Structure 1
Amino acid sequence: MSKSFEVTLQKVVDHSYLIEIGEHLFASLIRDLQQGLLTGISKYAIITDSTVEPLYGRPLLELLRHEGFQVELFSFPAGESSKTRETKAILEDQLLSHAYGRDCCIIAVGGGAVTDLAGFLAGTFGRGVPSLNYATTLLAAADASVGGKTGVNTPVATNLIGVFHQPRKVYIDLAAWRTLPSREFRSGLAETIKHACLSDEQFFAYLEANMDRIVTEDGELILDAGVCEHIALTNCRIKYEVVEQDEHEHNLRQILNLGHTAGRALEALSGYRLLHGEAVAVGLVIQAKLGVKFGYMTEEEANRVVALLKKAGLPTELPEYISNRALVDKMYTDKKVRNGRIRFVFQEGIGRMKLFADGSYSVPVEESEVMELLEEIRGS
């Protein structure tokens, strides 16, 4: 006769953290560490990529060492193609070989690929160690710095392997945006436009009116300080309002996947020739035009979305080198897929998301309907 024993593990965990937005925030980070932001930490590991390392990684390393912190830097080749389990394993082995243990803290310095990878590493190393995010790109500020979703890509799917791991604090350095190549900055604008599409019509109108104060259609960066700060703050607010209600993506948080069903597939199929935001921009166009077909938004509203993406210098057309068939097949690896059916989240107009009758924010879409729309887009 079998016996059972119940393991009761109910607990309340406070994952709150501060996001600091400003310019040149190394001094603030060091002051936080000196004033006890973290306790029980004896070693720090800066994780960055080959592009950010000379600009921000090495300078932070020297400043921390000058202040007496025990810290080392670990770098990996820049680019989304390096955001893999293999890279994570290499970094883990490097940390272990340098005697890092559970009394360490990970400091992620860079863009979205760095914060995604370093956050995943922090969430599993020693079964979880604290981490800080120092975001140097608009993409990291808009997306990766808030919400605690971390992960890596595989040849089959993007970001399907990962954990939820909230940082202890996030630093968004607006001065770093001025060091970005124009294309990288514009890529980050796609996530900003996505946030406006899903949650804030007033912010969408603000972007329409002020886009030319930060970037021209031909890609020249203007970066008006006031507009940049407003964008950073609003991105954080919108994402926070969603994450606060659904930290682990049971339903509502799916809306942050707007444009990503097709976008993630395009990004992977391009071999990362398309930057994340460029792929998401095309994904936003696909969902908007599908939304018009299903009556969730008007043609005029969809045209506003396309026009704003173009104003930001982002692509709105499907790449010729990716076939409709390949794109649809790749969509089946999206994390929203259930029972072998592709699911989309949709705008309801501008600034709202469609909530379906079953209480879900995502809905299955027939493959034939997606294929039909893709053919229309290519023919238009």
Structure 2
Amino acid sequence: MSQRFQVELKKLVDNSYEIEIGEGLFPSLIRDIQGGLVPGVSKYAIITDSSVEPLYGRPLLALLRQNGFVAELFAFPAGEPSKTRETKALLEDQLLSHSYGRDCCIIAVGGGAVTDLAGFLAGTFGRGVPSLNYATTLLAAADASVGGKTGVNTPVATNLIGVFHQPRKVYIDLAAWRTLPVREFRSGLAETIKHACLADAKFFEYLEDHIGKIVSPDGELILDPETCEQIALHNCRIKYEVVEQDEHESNLRQILNLGHTAGRALEAVSGYALLHGEAVAVGLVIQAKLGVKLGYMTGEQAERVAALLRRAGLPTEIPDAITNRMLMDKMYTDKKVRSGRIRFVFQDGIGAMKRFADGSYSTPVEEATIMELLEEIRG
């Protein structure tokens, strides 16, 4: 005869946090922690990469120490190939060797790879410690600032291992955008265009009208301040409105994966020679053209998506070195795959997403249909 005991652990957790958008936000960060933003913290760990370390990591470390805070800086080699379990373990070992424990706060300073990796570390170190994100790239502002999804890449797939861990606050430093290589900035524009495609037709039109105010046709960054601020605000608002309804990606949040089924596969198959946004740009075009084939959007709408991506200086074609078979095989590692079938999320025209009869925002697409489309794209 067995005995049973029910463990009741129902609780309401408030994961709300503020996003501050502006230029030169280090003083604001210092004021926030002086004001008790992260109570009970005795040590701060700045996590950054080798590119951001001299520009923002070291100055923030000096500022923290000048204001009487105990802080250290931990950096890893810049680039998506470093976003791995091995890098996370090395950082954890460094934190432990410096006597960091549950009374610490992680400050992630950098782009999406930094906030993804540092957020995952914060979510598991000491079974979870508070974190702050200081976003220095458009990609981090567009994709990593809202939602709390963290993770690392493996040889099999990208971002398949991680946790949901919400930061206590996010700072989006628009001044940092001027330090970015043009290719990195364009990469962030892909996620911005994705947001317009999936949720806001007027924002899509705004980007069509204003893209020339942030990047010129010959590729130089212009970065009109008002336009940059509008882009940052719209990115945060669109992503927030999705995440608020589906924090843990049970259904609706899948729409933020627009362009990523093929895009993430391209990124991995290229050995990360393609930046994340470059791969997503091609993935958006594949999704749009597949959507035309399946009747979810018109050819004219798909061309508007491709044209805007091209004007942003982003690629819209599959690199010749990547075969259709290579791309197809890698798509089977996508996190939306169910019962061995590749699933896509699709635009419903421009500014909305297709919801299917079963209530889901993703739908399986047969391999033969995808292969046919890939062959058509190659012409």
CA deviation map 1:281-330 (0-9, x unaligned): 00000000000001100000000000000000000000011100010000
What is the TM-score when the length of structure 2 is the normalising length? 1.00
Length, aligned pairs only: 379
Structure 1 CA distance, aligned partners of 2:229 and 2:377? Answer: 35
Partner of 1:361: 361
What is the TM-score when the length of structure 1 is the normalising length? 0.99
Partner of 1:36: 36
Structure 1 CA distance, aligned partners of 2:323 and 2:125? Answer: 40
Give the aligned residue type for 2:30.
I
Structure 2 CA distance, aligned partners of 1:246 and 1:339? Answer: 23
Q: Does the Cα contact within 8 Å between 1:217 and 1:310 map onto a contact in 2?
A: no
Structure 2 CA distance, aligned partners of 1:162 and 1:297? Answer: 34
Partner of 1:104: 104
Structure 1 CA distance, aligned partners of 2:307 and 2:5? Answer: 61
Partner of 1:170: 170
Matching of residues 170-319 of structure 1 within 5 Å: 170-319=170-319
Compute the displacement of 1:3 (Å): 1.0
Structure 2 CA distance, aligned partners of 1:79 and 1:219? Answer: 22
Give the aligned residue type for 1:372.
E
Compute the displacement of 1:219 (Å): 1.4
Identity of aligned residues (%): 83
Q: Which runs of 5+ in 1 are unaligned?
A: none
CA deviation map 1:165-222 (0-9, x unaligned): 0000000000000000000000000000000000000000000000000002331100
Does residue 58 in structure 1 map to residue 53 in structure 2?
no
Partner of 1:9: 9
Compute the displacement of 1:21 (Å): 0.1
Does residue 321 in structure 1 map to residue 332 in structure 2?
no
Structure 2 CA distance, aligned partners of 1:246 and 1:133? Answer: 21
Structure 1 CA distance, aligned partners of 2:219 and 2:34? Answer: 41
Q: Partner of 2:244: helix, strand, or coil?
A: helix
Give the aligned residue type for 2:177.
W
Structure 2 CA distance, aligned partners of 1:288 and 1:217? Answer: 24
Runs of 4+ in 1 over 3 A off after TM superposition: none
Matching of residues 115-194 of structure 1 within 5 Å: 115-194=115-194
Q: Partner of 1:132: helix, strand, or coil?
A: strand
Structure 2 CA distance, aligned partners of 1:193 and 1:157? Answer: 24
Structure 2 CA distance, aligned partners of 1:197 and 1:63? Answer: 40
CA RMSD of aligned residues (A): 0.4
Q: Partner of 1:354: helix, strand, or coil?
A: coil
Partner of 1:95: 95
Give the aligned residue type for 2:100.
Y
CA deviation map 1:74-123 (0-9, x unaligned): 00000000000000000000000000000000000000000000000000
Q: Does the Cα contact within 8 Å between 1:332 and 1:340 map onto a contact in 2?
A: yes
Give the aligned residue type for 2:359.
G
Structure 2 CA distance, aligned partners of 1:369 and 1:99? Answer: 55
Give the aligned residue type for 2:213.
R
Structure 2 CA distance, aligned partners of 1:70 and 1:146? Answer: 28
Give the aligned residue type for 1:280.
V
Structure 2 CA distance, aligned partners of 1:144 and 1:280? Answer: 15
CA deviation map 1:236-290 (0-9, x unaligned): 0000000000000000000000000000000000010000000000000000000
